[in-house]
Each structure stands twice: as structure tokens, then as C-alpha cells.
Homo-oligomer: A and B are copies of this chain.
Amino acid sequence: MITLNIANMMSGVMGQKGISEKSVEGIKDRVLAAHEEITQRKRSGLGFMDLIKQDTKDIKKAAEAVRGKYDNFILLGIGGSALGPKCIIEALSPMHNLKKSPKVFIYENVDPMTLNNILSVLDLKKTAVNVITKSGTTAETMASFMILYERLKGSPENFIATTDPEKGNLRKLATELGFKTLPIPPDVGGRYSVLSPVGLLPAEIIGADSDELLRGAGDMQKRCSGPDVWKNPAYLMGALLYLMDKEKGRKTDVLVPYSDRLKVMAEWFCQLWAESLGKQGLGLTPFPSLGTTDQHSQLQLWMEGPEDKVIVFIKVDDHGADIKIPEVFKESGTGYLGGHSLAELINAEEESTELCLQRAGRPNMTIGVPSIDAYHLGQLFFFFEIATAFTGFLYGINPFDQPSVEEGKNFTYGMMGRKGYEEKRAEVQEARKKKAGWKV
């Protein structure tokens, strides 16, 4: 089971830079109110909690069909719909395309060079295409879908649409065109969808067991179901980050896994946290990082830059492999490394960095992960999702909407010539003129 160590967040260890137990007690009413928002399902968007009860039969069947028939699998999606699957693949089947079949490609942007490159290395006829958008109106995903659809015209069997079970543009198209489909439950938003077919189909395709992901999530749900903030690791992380913002002005939380396989987990967490909590002038800025690598790029800033950050480490006990460092160059400046192992070194560096930050008065906490497998990945997903929802409620924010991203879409509609958006196009052209004089 994953754990949370908060020693280096607390005033007992950190002195004035830390949070007192009294402060945590002081927000007990808020914590209880947030707990009730969750348990009583006061707001729509909490459907991600029900995903643990999913029947994975159809997902497994769809994956089996892809594995048996196709050399490649392209996923079209953006935001959570791409980062969730990517996170699962990087964690459970690193370097997948150099080692295993079917090869997996995630096309998550509208960069023409990237799609060109993908199309140049595969035979589209031997490729399954998974298009993921709940509404079916996501411009980026639909644009690439339209391109691949035309190139595979007459082969509807190559497509799997993951979308709303009943409504929306893609559901309608998929029905008309005769695609296989998998559902994204109506009460599950894109950024909370990793444990729906959005993430579970790719998981099965790379050979991971989606039931294990759900079992991990289910066990974490049990562990995070009580109202006592001291015993609920997701609430405790949220409450401490909230207090660090309110009491100490620390508005950035850096997530630093010490494992290459969890690098994308940090990016996935950032999309979840940023889009859920960045509202009404509030919110915390999540920063994705990677240990040990970023000790050589970010650590200086965490140690001695502005005092506006909290560092959250992820420490992995068992890396699933180890390599001994041989006893060579004994008389050289790095002879001391010989006889140890890479796993020892990476974990020693993690512990050293924690301690360093603590000594410098920079608050940090550590999520402990026994090993990186489907079960513990499921735990991590659920842990971060429930922590995000809880923290939103602590702030009095709705963690399930994204009101500010709509306006940009309207300008894009205008520029792409969508009917009814002519005014928006004119506004962009006006702004362009204004900007012209400011170019160096």
C-alpha cells in the first residue's frame, strides 16, 4: 500500500517553516464539509469513484481483437485522454515500441510533422485507431480522426471510439459508421477518466491487467474513505498543501518521482490538478519533475529560490530491476560507488534531497510506493484524484469544471471559418493589427 510521510511539512520538524498540528485541527470543519461533498455526491463529476466497480469484459475483448489482428495501435486524444494512457504505458511497458507488439502511438496534438512521421513508419491498414473524446467536439482530436478516417475509408473495423455512451457528436458518428465503441460514463470528466476505458483499453493492449488497476484503486478508495484527516493520506496531502498556501504563501507544488517510469505520472497529475483547481484567482500550480535528473536542473531553485514551493517526492522501494556498479577505477574520484547498485544510488539521492531541503527550511513530503505495477498504479491514480477533488472542495472551488478554456475555442472557431463565429475572427484580426507594432 502506498504511504505518505509528512514529517518535513510539520512545525515539529521544520519549526516556523512548517504547519502546526493545531493549524490542521483548525480547518476540521472545512475538512468535514469537503468530506461530505464527496460522500454525499453533492456535485456532479464524482463518477470517477464508481469506476472501480466496472466490468472489464468488453474492454478485454476489444483489446484482444486489436492484439490478434493489428501491428499498430494509434490513440487520438488530448489532455487527460492522452496523458492517462501515456502514463500507464510508460509505467508498465517502458520502451514499448522497441520491445513489443502492437506498437503504440499516441497522437495528442495537431502538429502536422508528428502525424506525418507516425504515418511514415506504419502501415495504416494494419493499424487500429482509438479515437477518444467524450463530447466528440474536441477540435484537435476530431481533426486527426477526420484525416485517418478518410485514409481508412471502407475499413470501419479498424476504429474504436471511446465516447459518451449515448450523446454527442462522436457517439452519433460511431453509430452511423459502424465502429466498435467503449463508454466514458457521463459523470466522469476527461481529466478523471484514466480508470475508464480511456486508460483501460490501452492498458490491456500493452498486456497489463485492467482488473489489477481497478483493484489498486478500490483498495485506495477504502483507505481514503474516512473523515479523519490524520488517517486519510489523500485528505492529509490536500490539507497540508492548502495550509501551506494560506499560511505561508506557497502556491506551487512540485511532484518529483524518483523513477523514469513515473515521469509521465507527474505530467498526468499536473493536468488533473491544474485544470481542477485553477479558478477564481485561487489554486496551486503543479510542477512536473523527475529525480535524480532534475537535481541537476531544478534543485538549486527549490533550495534557494523564492519561498513559494512545496516539494512532493515519490519514492519507489523496489525498482523491478537492479544493476551492480562494478568495483573499477578504485583510486579515482568516484571509486566509492563500486560495489553499490543503481537502485541504492537513486534511493540514497532521494533521501539526501529530502534532508537537504528540510535543512534549508523548504517543506517537502514523500509518497512511498512499494513497486511499480498495475495494482500500485491504480492506487496512485485514485489517491491523486480523490486528493484533487478534496482540495478543490477545501478551497470552495468546483474541481470538475473548466470555465475559462471555452473562450479560446471561440476564437479558433472564428479563424477556422465556423459559421456564426465571424465576429470572433474579426476580433483576432483586429488584435493582430494592434500587435504588429510591438515586434523586435
Q: Which residues of B contact A296 (CB under 8 A)?
A: 78-80, 138, 140, 190, 271, 275, 405
Identify the stretch in A39-47, A63-71, A315-323 within 8 Å (CB) of chain B at 4 or more residues: A315-323
Told that A111-B260, A340-B416 touch, could you supply 17 new A-B pairs with CB distance under 8 A? Answer: A79-B297, A97-B98, A99-B121, A113-B261, A149-B326, A150-B328, A278-B303, A279-B304, A281-B304, A283-B301, A296-B405, A299-B404, A336-B418, A344-B415, A351-B411, A352-B412, A355-B411
A345 touches B110 (CB 8 A): yes
Q: Which residues of B contact A116 (CB under 8 A)?
A: 321, 323
Q: Which of A118, A191, A275, A440 has the most CB of B within 10 A?
A: A440
Q: Which residues of B contact A435 (CB under 8 A)?
A: 5, 7-8, 13
Which residues 260-285 of A sit at the B interface, judged by CB distance below 8 A?
A: 260-261, 270-271, 274-275, 277-283, 285
| Chain A 235-275: CB-based contact to B (< 8 A → 1; otherwise 0) | 01000000000000001100000011100000000110011
Q: Which residues of B contact A190 (CB under 8 A)?
A: 296
Identify the stretch in A24-32, A157-165, A204-212, A425-433 within 8 Å (CB) of chain B at 4 or more residues: A425-433
User: Shortest distance in angstroms between A331's beta carbon and chain B's nearest beta carbon?
Assistant: 10
Which residues 39-79 of A sit at the B interface, judged by CB distance below 8 A?
A: 78-79
A341 close to B (CB within 8 Å): yes
A359 touches B407 (CB 8 A): yes
Partner of A412, one of B150, B169, B349, B434: B349
B348 touches A415 (CB 8 A): yes
Complex formed: what's the CA distance from A360 to B248 in Å?
27
- Would A325 and B438 be within 8 Å (CB), given that A271-B297, A342-B110 are in contact? no
Size of the chain A interface, CB-CB below 8 angstroms: 153
Partner of A113, one of B143, B144, B320: B320
- Would A416 and B344 be within 8 Å (CB), given that A252-B285, A283-B301, A308-B285 are in contact? yes
- Would A319 and B10 be within 8 Å (CB), given that A305-B279, A337-B139 are in contact? no
Partner of A278, one of B274, B304, B343: B304
A38 close to B (CB within 8 Å): no
| Chain A 178-199: CB-based contact to B (< 8 A → 1; otherwise 0) | 0000000000001100000000
A314 close to B (CB within 8 Å): no
- Would A428 and B355 be within 8 Å (CB), given that A281-B306, A439-B5 are in contact? yes
22 A-B contact pairs sorted by A residue (CB < 8 Å): A6-B438, A78-B292, A78-B293, A110-B342, A111-B319, A113-B259, A113-B321, A114-B261, A139-B337, A139-B345, A139-B349, A142-B334, A143-B325, A146-B338, A274-B301, A275-B300, A278-B302, A281-B306, A287-B287, A300-B404, A304-B404, A359-B407
A154 close to B (CB within 8 Å): no
A290 close to B (CB within 8 Å): yes
Q: Which residues of B contact A139 (CB under 8 A)?
A: 334, 337, 345, 349
Q: Which residues of B contact A291 (CB under 8 A)?
A: 109
A137 close to B (CB within 8 Å): yes
A231 close to B (CB within 8 Å): yes
Copies of this chain, tallied across the complex: 2
Q: Which residues of B contact A412 (CB under 8 A)?
A: 345, 348-349, 352
Partner of A352, one of B251, B301, B415: B415
A172 close to B (CB within 8 Å): yes
User: Shortest distance in angstroms between A146's beta carbon and chain B's nearest beta carbon?
Assistant: 5
Complex formed: what's the CA distance from A83 to B283 in Å?
30
- Would A353 and B408 be within 8 Å (CB), given that A173-B332, A292-B109, A336-B419 are in contact? yes
Q: Which residues of B contact A95 (CB under 8 A)?
A: 117-118, 121
B323 touches A147 (CB 8 A): yes
Q: Which residues of B contact A94 (CB under 8 A)?
A: 113-114, 117
Q: Which residues of B contact A333 (CB under 8 A)?
A: 136-137, 169
User: Shortest distance in angstroms between A117's beta carbon and chain B's nearest beta carbon?
Assistant: 5
A191 touches B112 (CB 8 A): no
Complex formed: what's the CA distance from A324 to B337 in Å?
55
A112 touches B321 (CB 8 A): yes
- Would A298 and B319 be within 8 Å (CB), given that A252-B252, A434-B13 are in contact? no
